[in-house]
Amino acid sequence: MRRRLDFLRRLRRAEDCGLPFQQNPRYSWLRGLSLAVVVPLTASAMAGAPEPAGLAASRTDLTPEDLARVIAITRPTKDFSKPEQFEPMQGGAGTSRKDANKDAFSQSSANITFEEEGTFKLGNALFRKNWVSSPSSTQASDGLGPLFNERACQNCHLKDGRGRPPEGDSGTTSMFLRLARQASTDEERAALAARKVLNFPDPVYGSQLQDLAVPGLRGEGRMRVDYQEQKVTLPDGTVVWLRKPSYSVDDLANGPLDPHTTLSPRMTPPMIGLGLVEQIAPADILAHADPDDRNSDGISGKPNIVRDGQSGELTLGRFGWKAQTPSIRQQAADAFAGDIGISTPEVPNHWGDCTAAEKTCLAMPNGVQERLGPVEAPPPVMDLVTFYSQNLAVPARRDLDEPDVLAGKKLFYDMGCISCHTPKFVTRRGTPNKAQAFQLIWPYSDFLLHDMGPGLADGQAVGEATGSEWRTPPLWGSGLTQTVNGNSFFLHDGRARTLAEAILWHGGEGQKARDRFAAADAADRDALVKFLESL
């Protein structure tokens, strides 16, 4: 193993750790077809619209030689007797090889420069920074709220990792409720059709429930989670208890929610590998989409086509539980506004998510400082936080040559899990930061929307995503959740307390794979979980 890692380290300088265009038996019908044909099929809702710049139909960054290498290296393996070439480095040349301890998700990309390491550390400081209410003597830090969920990014993304649902006195720091309703007027329906909006907020409480507030103001309400234990007996007699949550809001400050408002719990996801995901070519993600299930395998997968907040152009959503956000910078700006109540150039709302109905909130002072510009978090702050978020490294794989891990990997493939959890991609060559360029990465996600059945449905539509559709989450880092965050809560609302529970919650397009897992003997189920724990 050490010799393999040393070899990969030498390859890093030559940028030979990466190579794109995903090949998968499930997509054999695509072979020989131009991606120019595939894109209209995968974005059927866009019929009649010109091709968006952010949805390139093919890759122009690859030579024919590159493409041949890419096809070969990204083809799903059939040999499970040993690890694949480059497999230890699941985040490409930027993979962190530091100890797998509680700081495993907080390491910088291993291939950034010395100067960039300094930028990363400055971004880390801002990510951890606690904002304060206005007015304040610490003028570079005021502007919090007036309504908010937390005072710092790090307080939600605990150790840059996964959040947790509220339990006992733990509060809701790393999980919140999205509030949304569907269109109710012709004007609103037209805005949805034109993709000017993803959905519509509650008329009083906005798009997110904020349970905290600055002095002199009351929080909007408090999330309540009630669990019902469900007994599941597997074919071999093993009994598993799944907890089914239901959500409501207590102590509403301004009267009831709109009767059409839906509640969607969202647990904060890990921050690792985001910069690599951002640089996967749109054509490579779209090549996996099959919204009409043309190959009749029961797996569809569709992109969430959204508008870029800055350019206004249609592009591919790839971040968020419903793939509703196209870029890391936009994700950061939305979090500043919704979670902390801080305005940015991208979302210049000085009062965060306060609505016109919350007049007391809008009467509160904001933190804009004339000498720093017209927003509370000016461009340099966004530059640093974005760079930090783009360069949190994916940890190296562990124990991947152990017999039970290799056996579990084969089961993961044989059970059809890779139909959604696509093992490998290669990033684009012409990336803004060289560290993310032309890297072979192993996120185990297709970054598309899939109907996961009624058991996981939240009833909340977000852009192209229906109330039962979710983006396939990347699996890298799953095995370090307990180490980093001290818990093993999975899925969008943390209802699953183990990886096995998470699998057993799969329905809809994931039902067949779930049933194969349930029908396997205990040793095989354990082996598959061991494989996931090695990621």
Strand partners, 54: 315
Q: How far apart are CA 467 and CA 463, in angstroms?
A: 10
More confident residue, 61 or 44: 61
DSSP code of 368?
Answer: -
Is residue 47 predicted with pLDDT exceeding 60? no
The mean pLDDT of 461-490, rounded to a whole number, is 96
pLDDT class for 13, splitting at 50, 70, 90?
A: very low
Do the domain assignments include residue 7?
Answer: no
Q: Which pLDDT belongs to residue 16? A: 35
Do the domain assignments include residue 37?
Answer: no
Do the domain assignments include residue 48?
Answer: no
Is residue 301 predicted with pLDDT exceeding 80? yes
Do the domain assignments include residue 36?
Answer: no
DSSP code of 228?
Answer: E
Counting every residue written for the chain, the total comes to 535
Q: Flag the least confident range among 65-69, 190-194, 273-277, 321-325.
A: 65-69
Q: What residues make up the domain containing 77?
A: 64-534
Tell me the average pLDDT of the chain. Answer: 89
Q: Which pLDDT belongs to residue 171? A: 60
Is residue 280 helix, strand or coil? strand
> Does an H or E element contain 266, and which?
strand 262-267
Q: How far apart are CA 458 and CA 466, in angstroms?
A: 9
Is residue 356 predicted with pLDDT exceeding 70? yes
124-172 residue pLDDT tens: 999 999 999 998 877 778 899 999 999 999 999 999 999 999 876 666 6
Q: Which pLDDT belongs to residue 4? A: 30
C-alpha Rg value of the chain to the nearest Å: 23
Q: Kindly state the tokens that stand for 412.
A: 């993961």
Q: Which pLDDT belongs to residue 56? A: 86
Q: Which pLDDT belongs to residue 170? A: 61
pLDDT class for 26, splitting at 50, 70, 90?
A: very low
Q: Which pLDDT belongs to residue 136? A: 82
Beta strand ranges found along 423-531 (DSSP E): 425-426, 440-441, 449-451, 469-471
Q: How large a percentage of the chain has pLDDT more than 90?
A: 82
Do the domain assignments include residue 42?
Answer: no
Q: Which pLDDT belongs to residue 53? A: 53
Is residue 42 predicted with pLDDT exceeding 80? no
The mean pLDDT of 252-271, rounded to a whole number, is 97
The mean pLDDT of 260-265, rounded to a whole number, is 98
Do the domain assignments include residue 59?
Answer: no
Is residue 464 predicted with pLDDT exceeding 50? yes
405-426 residue pLDDT tens: 999 999 999 999 999 999 999 9
Is residue 31 predicted with pLDDT exceeding 70? no
Q: Kindly state the tokens that stand for 119.
A: 């930028």
492-504 residue pLDDT tens: 999 999 999 999 9
Q: Which pLDDT belongs to residue 410? A: 98
More confident residue, 171 or 395: 395
The mean pLDDT of 37-46, rounded to a whole number, is 35
Q: Kindly state the tokens that stand for 218.
A: 């009351």
Q: Which pLDDT belongs to residue 511? A: 98
Is residue 39 predicted with pLDDT exceeding 80? no
* CA nearest to 161, candidates 135, 193, 127: 127
Paired sense of beta strands 304-307 and 314-317, if any = antiparallel
Is residue 30 predicted with pLDDT exceeding 80? no
Q: Which pLDDT belongs to residue 10? A: 33
More confident residue, 31 or 241: 241
Burial 151-168, CB ≥16 within 10 A → b, else e: bbbbbbbbbbbbbbbbee
314-341 residue pLDDT tens: 999 999 999 999 999 999 999 999 999 9
Q: Which pLDDT belongs to residue 509? A: 97
Is residue 208 helix, strand or coil? strand
Is residue 46 predicted with pLDDT exceeding 60? no
Q: Which pLDDT belongs to residue 50? A: 52
DSSP code of 308?
Answer: -
* CA nearest to 426, candidates 129, 73, 39, 167: 73
Q: Which pLDDT belongs to residue 9? A: 34
Q: Which pLDDT belongs to residue 372? A: 85
Do the domain assignments include residue 371?
Answer: yes
Do the domain assignments include residue 448?
Answer: yes
More confident residue, 261 or 40: 261
Could you give the number of structural domains in the chain?
Answer: 1
The mean pLDDT of 197-201, rounded to a whole number, is 97
